[in-house]
Amino acid sequence: MNTLISLLVLGFLLVMIYYSYTMAIESKYQLAQSLGVSMFLPSLAIPVAMAAAAVQLVLNYLLKLKNRDAGRHEAKIIDI
């Protein structure tokens, strides 16, 4: 069950990375009215955050898998 949930969440994160990156590319020529800067960098925050969450999910899943194979029941928090 844990594997299924992890795969569903990973799929969601990958979809979010794809669509938010295309949104960031489309906002390349939009300018913020107050500062006059491109909206590309603020829009890029979403796919970067989703990619970081996907990396954290995969690392956490691998750690749980390793601990299960070793017979340990404790999971440590990975801080990246």
Number of domains in the chain: 1
- Structural domain includes residue 36: yes
Q: Which domain holds residue 31?
A: 2-70
CA angle 50, 25, 21 (to 5 degrees): 15
In a 13 Å sphere around the CA of 25, the CA atoms on its Cβ side amount to 6
- Structural domain includes residue 79: no
- Structural domain includes residue 78: no
Question: Residue 33 has what pLDDT?
Answer: 86
Find all residues with CB under 8 Å of 31, minimum gap 6, and list them.
Answer: 37, 38, 39
| Tens of pLDDT, residues 22-73 | 999 998 888 888 888 889 989 999 999 999 999 999 999 988 888 776 665 5
- Structural domain includes residue 80: no
| Tens of pLDDT, residues 64-76 | 888 776 665 555 6
